[in-house]
Amino acid sequence: MKQKLSIIKIGGNVIENETELNKFLDSFAAIQGPKILVHGGGKLATQIAEKLGIESKLVGGRRITDEEGLKVITMVYGGLANKNIVAQLQARGTNAIGLSGADGNTIRAVKRPVREIDYGFAGDVEEVNAGAIDKLLQADFVPVFCAITHNKEGQLLNTNADTIASEVAIGMSGNYDTTLYYCFEKKGVLMDISDETSVVKHLEPKNYQELLEKKIIADGMLPKLENCFHALHKNVGKVCIGDLDMLNPIATLFTTITL
């Protein structure tokens, strides 16, 4: 029987809110067994870029990463955000180690091809080095991944954190019974966006398709849920979406996604 592994992704809305971040880190530190944290930090990167006089370009919610933007992202994701999280986890007795995909060659990506839009130094994940990550877990480290990968030719790449979480969960599913958690500002997938209690508690392909057709699921939730189903089709055991309360063992108001 495979050992359980929890992989949790948090977004920038948690990272830049000290109260929310502390609440999350308390819950994360309390999770028993092997675990991995993946974080974004786009909002914080935008704030720092503005202070430096560097314009952040977004198209459809996705960042265009030029050379100057990549410098800011590397400083913020791999430095400020990542090391703050690692230090806070150490204070909670969790032996965290901060990583980008370049560290230990853990996540290799390819620069996204130019189609309708040139996303610049954006990366699409090609390979997760599950063996290297497993060595860290076996040594009782808790990996904390920022949203940066590399192409193994010396180039760092800005990579969607939801995708990194999904691909790491897939990569680790050969050795572990993996559960992937996406923590964001909503209680889960909502029937009514204005009603936080209208959570769809269970989502599977049939009712997902129905909600798509009714336009109940749209916009920013679409790529997130595509990552969820992609992970499930690649042997990840379970995916959950909800707010920070989801990590509480007695929580009931979040969305569980299965096939």
Backbone φ and ψ for 217, nearest 5 degrees, come out as: -100, 120
Cβ atoms 129, 108 nearer than 8 A: yes
Q: CA end-to-end span of the chain, whole Å? A: 21
Distance between CA atoms of residues 251 and 141, nearest Å: 27
123 annotated among ligand-binding-site residues: no
Quote the crossing angle between the two packed helices 221-233 and 161-172, to the nearest 10°.
10
84 annotated among ligand-binding-site residues: no
Cα angle, residue 237 at apex, residues 234 and 243 outer, rounded to 5°: 110
63 annotated among ligand-binding-site residues: yes
Distance between CA atoms of residues 122 and 105, nearest Å: 17
* Strand spans (E) along the chain: 3-10, 35-39, 57-59, 62-64, 96-99, 107-111, 123-128, 142-145, 148-150, 156-158, 176-183, 202-203, 238-242, 255-257
Q: How many residues does the chain have?
A: 259
Cα angle, residue 168 at apex, residues 164 and 173 outer, rounded to 5°: 150
The binding site for substrate consists of 41-42, 63, 158
The binding site consists of 41-42, 63, 158
